[in-house]
Amino acid sequence: MDEPIRSPVRSPSATMRGMTIRLDHTIVPTKDKVAAAQFFADIFGLQLKPVVGYFAQVQVNESLTLDFADEPEPSLTSHHYAFHVSDVEFDDIWNRVKAKQLPWGSGPSQRSDGRLYTRRGGRGFYFEDPNGHILEVMTVPETGS
């Protein structure tokens, strides 16, 4: 008779320390990978890496790259990407969004009401990229402590 498969038991100290899992990259489906990556880099004050191969990449921080890819089918599904930034970065991003005259707003369904939200003692707003993906910028993280 086969033994049952058991999940590894985690010690209480391992659970308290948290996991070491970190998102390394994610693929952002687009109609035009270079234009989408450049839009994101411009708005967030980042650099588009030299385009080599399948992806147009933007390094968000030391551990995360957004890999923009051309979607073969025109029916793109909207994704939500949320970014926790400092107050200074928030103001810079918000000013670039306004300078490009992009609609922005206080909620995922209110992306054009021209209002910031205030939650958890911070500020935030939503806007869309040219592919219809919903981008959120916030000064206090949604997750964590």
pLDDT in tens, 25-67: 999 999 999 999 999 999 999 999 999 899 999 999 999 999 9
Q: Describe the chain by its helix, strand, coil percentages, rounded to 5.
A: 20, 30, 45
Q: What is the pTM of this model?
A: 0.84
pLDDT in tens, 69-78: 998 776 668 8
As to burial, measured by CB atoms within 10 angstroms (0-12 exposed, 13-18 middle, 19+ buried), residue 126 is buried
Band the pLDDT of 142: cuts 50, 70, 90. Answer: confident
Structural domains in the chain plus CATH codes: 23-71 (3.30.720.120), 78-145 (3.10.180.10)
In 3D, which of 62, 82, 39 has the Cα closest to residue 48?
39
